[in-house]
C-alpha cells in the first residue's frame, strides 16, 4: 500500500537527476559564451548574500530564501527574458504558441528520458497525449511533465532553483502543477522546448534569519 509514496519520491528524484545532467550541458555552453556581451535587461547577476560564515562555524539558524521579482525599468520581451539566462540554442526555444503532434512530443529526447519507473505505472507521456489529442500545446506539455518530474527553475542569480517550496511560496498555492501554471499564465515562467523552465524576471533573495519566520 505504501508504493505510491515511494514512486512519487523516486519519480521526482529521477527527474531532478536528469535535469542536473541537462544543467551540466548548459554550463559548458555558458562557459564557451562567457565573452559575449551581457543582456541589456540583465547587466549583472544579483548574488544572494550569505548570512552564516562557514569558516567561523557560526551556529545561527541558516538563512531563508525566497523568489522575488527583479525591478525592471521596462518589461523585457520574451526573447530577452530567455536570452538573459544564456540558455538559448537551437533546441532551447520558448515553447509558447507551439503545437506538437503526439509523434513530435514523444520523439523529444528529454521526453523519452522521463518515462515510468516500473511496469504498470501510469506514463505521464500517455496521459498528455490523451489529454490534448493530436494538437499538444508545447508550453502546457512542458509544465505537465515538469510538475511530475520537477528538475528546477532557472532564475537570474541562482541558476537552478530545485526547491519546490520556493516556487509554491511565490505562487501562493500548495500544488506544484497549479503553481507552475499560474506563474506561466502571469508571465513569470517560460517553458522551453527542451523541457527546462526559466524565470529570468525573478531572483533568489536571502532573508535575514533573524527576521525570517521560524
**What's the rounded Cα separation, in Å, for the pair 179 and 164?**
10
CA distances from 161 to 80, 135, 149, 165, 200 (A): 20, 31, 14, 10, 12
| DSSP string computed for 23-45 | HHHHHHHHHHTTTSPPPTT-SSP
* pLDDT tens track for 64-119: 888 989 876 665 666 666 665 565 554 678 999 999 999 999 999 999 999 887 77
Cα 143 to Cα 140: distance, rounded to the nearest angstrom: 5
57: left (phi over 0), alpha (psi -120 to 50) or beta: left
This prediction has a pTM of: 0.69
Which region among 11-25, 42-56, 122-136 has the lowest average model confidence (pLDDT)? 42-56
Cβ atoms of 111 and 125 closer than 8 Å: yes
User: Is 70 exceeded by the pLDDT of residue 136?
Assistant: yes
pLDDT score at 115 = 84
146 closest CA partner among 121, 125, 174: 125
Per residue in 143-166, pLDDT tens? 999 999 998 998 877 668 888 999
Tell me what the pLDDT averaged over the chain comes to.
74
Q: At what angle do helices 138-148 and 124-132 cross, to 10 degrees?
A: 150
Amino acid at each position: 500500500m505504501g508504493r505510491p509514496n515511494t514512486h512519487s519520491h523516486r519519480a521526482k528524484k529521477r527527474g531532478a537527476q536528469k535535469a542536473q545532467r541537462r544543467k551540466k550541458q548548459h554550463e559548458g555552453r555558458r562557459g564557451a559564451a562567457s565573452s559575449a556581451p551581457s543582456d541589456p535587461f540583465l547587466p549583472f547577476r544579483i548574488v544572494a548574500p550569505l548570512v552564516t560564515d562557514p569558516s567561523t562555524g557560526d551556529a545561527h539558524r541558516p538563512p531563508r530564501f525566497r523568489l522575488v521579482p527583479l525591478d525592471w525599468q521596462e518589461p523585457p520581451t520574451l526573447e530577452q527574458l530567455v536570452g538573459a539566462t544564456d540558455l538559448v540554442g537551437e533546441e532551447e526555444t520558448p515553447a509558447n504558441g507551439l503545437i506538437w503532434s503526439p509523434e513530435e512530443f514523444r520523439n523529444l529526447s528529454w521526453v523519452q528520458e522521463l518515462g515510468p519507473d516500473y511496469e504498470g505505472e501510469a506514463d505521464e507521456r500517455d496521459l498528455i497525449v490523451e489529454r490534448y489529442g493530436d494538437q499538444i500545446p508545447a508550453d502546457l506539455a512542458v509544465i505537465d511533465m515538469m510538475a511530475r518530474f520537477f528538475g528546477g527553475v532557472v532564475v537570474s542569480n541562482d541558476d537552478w532553483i530545485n526547491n519546490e517550496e520556493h516556487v509554491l511560496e511565490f505562487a501562493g498555492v500548495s500544488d506544484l502543477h497549479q503553481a507552475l501554471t499560474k506563474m506561466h499564465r502571469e508571465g513569470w515562467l517560460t517553458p522551453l522546448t527542451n523541457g527546462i523552465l526559466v524565470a529570468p524576471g525573478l531572483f533568489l533573495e536571502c532573508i535575514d534569519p533573524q527576521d525570517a519566520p521560524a
